[in-house]
Each structure stands twice: as structure tokens, then as C-alpha cells.
Chains A and B, each alone.
Chain A
Amino acid sequence: MDWVNGIVQGVLVGGLFALFATGLSLIFGVMKIVNIAHGDLIVAAAYLAFTIIQLSGLHPVTSLVIVIPIATAAGYLLQTTILNRMLGKDILPPLLVTFGLSIIIQNVLLEIYSADSRRLRAGLIETGSFPLAPGIDIGYLPLMTFLAAVIVVAALQFVFYRTELGRAFRAVSDDPEASQLMGLDNRRIYGFAMALCLAVVAIAGIFLATRANFDPFMGPSRLIFGFEAVIIGGLGNLWGTLAGGVILGVAQAIGAQIDPGWQLLAGHVAFLVILAIRPQGLFPKGTS
């Protein structure tokens, strides 16, 4: 039963990995860049929520009402002031700039909040659970995280394929020059994409911070988990990314059952195995 329970919990954690991944996937889809600072932005959002909760006494989930708008505005500004200037044929500048940003965010958080690990307290949601079967308890928080991931993916899917903004995203992604000729302001569209990405980052940050302790240096490994979920699921497929997150979560859970030291390693190994045998991912674009 330990094993079944471990795998069920792994599936639910997969929701969190999918939340890390969708923002990454969105940005790569729209402007073909990889934001190395993605994980650090998630951690920064967690610290922002931490401060807001300290000041206002809000519940972590309701603090999203404040955290999401701030994150969205920050995303738009980040894109329009810095990243837009780095876009072009060469992949080097955006990669190196976001790498620099990653190191800066980590150390600024360290200066402000110190290296102590923190946690958002969410009361009943955090500790409560209900039994699914004998020996398998589903926690409210992991379940909410998973549902949040499903809702985020569904919402992004809707935005991408059913709205005017989504059409603009697809247009600048397919052919930035033609879309500009059709009257789109690519730079603003990129700004909106990053704003949307940071809204997801804010949600991911809150769930990350409620689930476990966080500190200024845990961003890079969140980036890696998100990246692995994207590649396992297949580039450009958001539902695939959710599946990728679940596979990563289950692989880590299985690893942890074998030996606690194997938890992270098992996730990375699962990723490398899929990269070796199916480099396009399990559900590449076009199959969904």
C-alpha cells in the first residue's frame, strides 16, 4: 500500500511541477526563448506572498488577489524594458541575461530575507486530508494544487485557441514579421505573454510555499523540474506538460520509496531516459 500511496502522492505533486512548467512552455512557445530565471521568479513570488501575508494577515490562497496583479505587472515590465531588447536570431543574449537575472534575484532575496527557510501557513487546507482508500489519504493542499494545475492548463489552452490575444500569441510565434505587417505590435504581445506567464508563476509560488519550506536558492531546481516536465510531455503541448509533470512526480515518488536519497535522482533519470528513447517527448505538438 505504501507504493500505491507513494504513486498517488506523486501524481498530485506532478500538478505542482506542471505549474512550474506551463509558464516556461508559454514563453518558449511565443518567443522561442528559455527564461533561466523562471524558477527564481517563482521563489520571488513566494516571498512576495510571504510579505503580503505578514502585513495583511491574509490567507495564502486569498493573497493571490494581490500577488497576481503585482507579478503580472512585473512580468510586463521585465519583458518590455529588458527582454524585448534581447530578442533576435541569436539565442545567446536572452539566455545569458536571464541567467544573470537568476543570480541577481537569488542574492537580492538573500539580502532581504536572509537564508532562513520560510513557509506559508494555510491552516486546515495545509494539514487536512480525507481517506480515498485504506492507507491512502488525499491531502487538501496537494489536491488543490493539482486542480489548480488543471484549471491553469485549461485556461491557457482557452486563451491560446479561443481568444484574440491567443491568436496574436500564435501569430507572433509562427511568423513575427508577417504578424507585424498585419498590424500587431510584437513587443507588446511579448509583454502580455510574459505578464500571463508571471500570473502562473505567482500561483506556482503560493502552492510551492504552502507545501514545503522555501529559501532564496531553491529557484534553479524548480526551473529544472519545470523544464523536465516540458520535455517529457512534448514541446508545445500544454496538456502534455501536465502529463510530464505527473510522470516526473511519480518517478520521484518511486525513487523516494526505494531510498530517500534517490528521490531527485529518479526524476532526473526518468527525464534522461525519455530524452534518450523519445526526444520529441511523449505527446509532441500535433498529437493532441
Chain B
Amino acid sequence: MMHEVTRATTTSRIALLGAVVLAIVLAAAPYWGSTANLRLLGEIMVYLALASLWNLLAGFSGLVSIGQQAYVGFGGYVLFTICIALGWNPLYAIPIAGLAAAPISVLVALLVFRLNGAYFAIGTWVVAEVFRLGFAQMSSLGGGSGLSLPINVMREMASTKAEREALIYWAALALGTGSVAIVYALLRSRIGLALTAIRDSEIASSSLGVPIRSIKLFVYVAVAAATSMIGALIFMQKLRIAPNAAFSVTDWTAFVIFMVVIGGIGTIEGPIVGTLLYFLLRQFLADFGSIYLIILGGLAIVTMMVAPKGIWGFFVSRSGISLFPVGYRVKLQDEVRVRRWKGERACRTQ
């Protein structure tokens, strides 16, 4: 019997095309959007990136970290160090933050990987606290009260405010869409296959030669580096940094966890859905402050109880649609099957 093994479906091809068109429209936003629009879109991109990366860590690799704010804040401080001490173009800080965070995250991993699953989560949180308290001790970086980016440094990037806004926005767009694309590509690669195997059975996959520790280390370091790049961008948007804001567990981890859980943890589309829903709800509920957090927390708990794969997982289980397929599907070819059957009968009658 003839069959064909494919990843793509018609829906996924349309989705990919739609994503490309959307990316082009978004890339042109500085030409059609107001400053307020650009800032909102930039913030959405930042959270889209953070959510996709945290999902890769927790949803696909079983590394539930509550300490990713360590890398957001670290990236922010790399930006301020580079701009103030060296006077470089702030945009250079984005790749440098990634490069600087990678070796540090290896050291952190050597420690926190000694803690198993649930305790790993709190261990990462302790590390983030150490970062926060450590940077608060550095008087050259403003100590506990923080510091602001001088305007002459921002002029290194571009002379007019509109140009700077556009550049920061494009950087955010690149990091947001880039994070989704990289997570998608990674999950379709050998590493994605290994991660699926580890998720299904650590013992079986390790006996088949999957190097569990190095795969997890690779994911942890890659996510840490990318998170630091986003951190550098975030504080370029904010122009001000202080330890409590830089290493805020609420802003950089709690919101992100809620987005991923509500949207659908362990799915590529989930963080996208969750991020959009978060910003949609915020338009209505932002004025309520702590009530908004209570509602988000409640929604996350209810999601975990009734639909552990979130809104997207629930939708997929009902519809079977996957916009970004990671697995393979077997498609039997009816036409081929009929032709062959007729051929066999022709042979027999001769």
C-alpha cells in the first residue's frame, strides 16, 4: 500500500503563508502606526518572545524555572554597562547580552541542575534573588536605586526620536518572531525529537542513547542567552533600570507563566494565543491592578484543572488543527491504492 509521510498540511501551509504576510505587515508598522501603537506592539513582541522561550524550557524540556527574571535583568544591566561605560550604540548590547549570559547560565546550570524537578524551580528563583541582591550592591551601576540611560547614548543609535522608536520596535519584532521561529525550528530538529523522547520516558530515551543532560543543558543555556537579549531590549524601551524592576518575578516570570499556561503549555501556538489574550484582557482590566493579577492567576489555575493543555490544546483536541506541526502524519494515497488494485486484477485475469 502506498503512503506518504508528511509534516505539512494544507492548514499549516496557509498558516505559514499567513505568518509571513503578518510579519511583513508588522515590519511596516513604523510607517502606518502611531508611537503608542509601536510601543504596544513592541511590548507584545517582548512578551511573545519571553513566553515562547519559557514554554520551550518548561513545556517541552521539563525545566520549570521561576528564575528567568535573572536573565532579563542581567541583559538589562549589560545594556547599561555597555552604554554608560563604553558609550557604544545600545543596539550592540542585544547580541552582547546573549553572548555574556551564555557562560554565566552554564555556571548556574551546574548548580541548579543538582536539584530535581520541583526544587529546581525554587533553586532558579534563589539564583535570580542572588542576581538582584548582587546588582543592588554594585554602586557603579546605581546600587539599589538604579540609573537612567543618558540621551546622548541613545543618540548613538539614531539622531531623531522617531528613528530610535522604529529601530527599537524592529529589534523587538525580530526577537519576538525570531523566538517563535527558532523554537519551532528547534522542535523540528533532532533536539526536538530528543526532547519528545525524554518527555515520554526518561529511562527509555536514555537507554537508547539520548544524552539527556547535555540536551537539557543546551536548551537551558540557549533560552538564557535569548532571554538576556530580550532583557537588553526591554530596558532600551524603558530607558531606566533598578534591581527590583530588573529582577521582578511578577513582570518577567509570573505574567509569562500565566500567558503560557492559559494559552497552552507544551504547544507552539499556545504562547502566541496566551500573549494575545493577556494584552486583550489588559486593555479592559489594567485599571484594576491587583485584581487583574488575581483574575490571571485564577484563570491559570482553572486552565490547569479543566484543560491542562490550555486554550490551544483544547481547540486542537476538538478540531485536530495544527498551525505549526512538529510531528509527522501518515497519509494514505487513495488514488494510488485504487490504481494498484486494478493493476493486480488485470494481471490475474491474463
Contacts and interface: CB of A to CB of B under 8 A. Distances in A.
Contacts of A110: 290
A231 interface: yes
Interface string B290-316: 110110111011001100100000000
Contacts of B119: 28, 34, 227, 231
Contact of B66 (A99, A221, A269): A99
B290 A276 contact: no
B125 A220 contact: yes
Contacts, number: 119
Contacts of B129: 221, 224, 264, 268
Nearest to B58: A92
Interface string A14-26: 0000000000000
A103 B133 contact: no
B137 interface: yes
B291 A107 contact: yes
A70 interface: no
A104 B294 contact: yes
Interface in A20-42: 28, 32-34, 36
B88 to A, nearest CB: 30
B130 interface: yes
B314 to A, nearest CB: 15
A86 B304 CA distance: 8
B183 interface: no
B304 A107 contact: no
Interface residues of B, number: 43
B136 interface: yes
Interface string A72-105: 0000000000100110000111111101110110
B126 interface: yes
Contacts of B258: 100
Nearest to A115: B290
Contacts of A111: 290-291, 294
B49 to A, nearest CB: 20
Most chain B CB neighbours (cut-off 10 Å) among A33, A92, A106, A108: A92
Interface stretch (B76-84, B110-118, B158-166, B220-228): B110-118
B171 interface: no
B126 A103 contact: no
Interface in B221-274: 249-250, 254, 257-258, 261, 265
Contacts of A223: 122
A269 B136 contact: no
Contact of B126 (A93, A95, A108, A268): A268
Given A92-B265, A96-B257, A108-B294, 6 more contacts: A99-B257, A107-B294, A220-B125, A227-B126, A231-B119, A264-B133
22 contacts: A28-B119, A32-B118, A34-B119, A86-B305, A91-B118, A92-B62, A92-B265, A95-B118, A96-B300, A97-B305, A100-B304, A104-B301, A106-B293, A107-B297, A221-B129, A224-B126, A227-B122, A231-B119, A261-B137, A272-B126, A272-B130, A279-B115
